[in-house]
Amino acid sequence: MKIGIGNDHAGVDLKYSIIKTMPEHIFINVGTDSYESCDYPDYIKLVAEMVQKGEVDCGIAICGTGIGASIVANKHKGVRAALCTNEFMASMARKHNDANMLVLGARVVGIDLAISIINAFLHATFEGGRHKQRLDKIKQIEQ
């Protein structure tokens, strides 16, 4: 799977741990590689744009808590970013909301939990049905 990944300074270590632990995926890294303080919107925007344009299968955004990254990602039309702190949230984000971007808080989840969350996200699929009707309403709001 081709995954866009972006982060601020707080997410550098988590990003590299994810990439190293999941060699079966192709990661397009658009995040900072520096620990020097930076502005997360600059990097999260790049991941969201890749998702929006269909250049990647999905995206992962990382900042300290994940809150700011989630806000930025969801400003992009067609991006459905879900801030997840456990596997159930990640699975349901895909199954019920057809999320195409996962957001993680580097200061909230450790690497083992992050990998479990990512796997739950990547292995779940949108269920459609009543959830499609709800997703269509979200798309109408975006207009």
Please tell me the distance from the alpha carbon of residue 111 to that of residue 62, in angstroms, as a whole number: 12
Alpha-carbon torsion, ordered 85, 93, 138, 78, to 10 deg = 90
Q: How far is 3 from 31, CA to CA, in rounded Å?
A: 13
Is 63 one of the catalytic residues? yes
Whether 38 sits among the annotated catalytic residues: the reply is no
Catalytic annotation, pick one of 25, 38, 96, 131: 96
- Residues 103 and 58 sit within 8 Å (Cβ to Cβ): no
- Catalytic: which of 25, 38, 58, 63? 63
Round to whole Å and give the CA distance between 18 and 105.
Answer: 13
Chain center to CA of 93: 11
d(CA 122, CA 129): 20
Asked whether the beta carbons of 11 and 106 are under 8 A apart, the reply is: yes
Catalytic residues: 63, 96
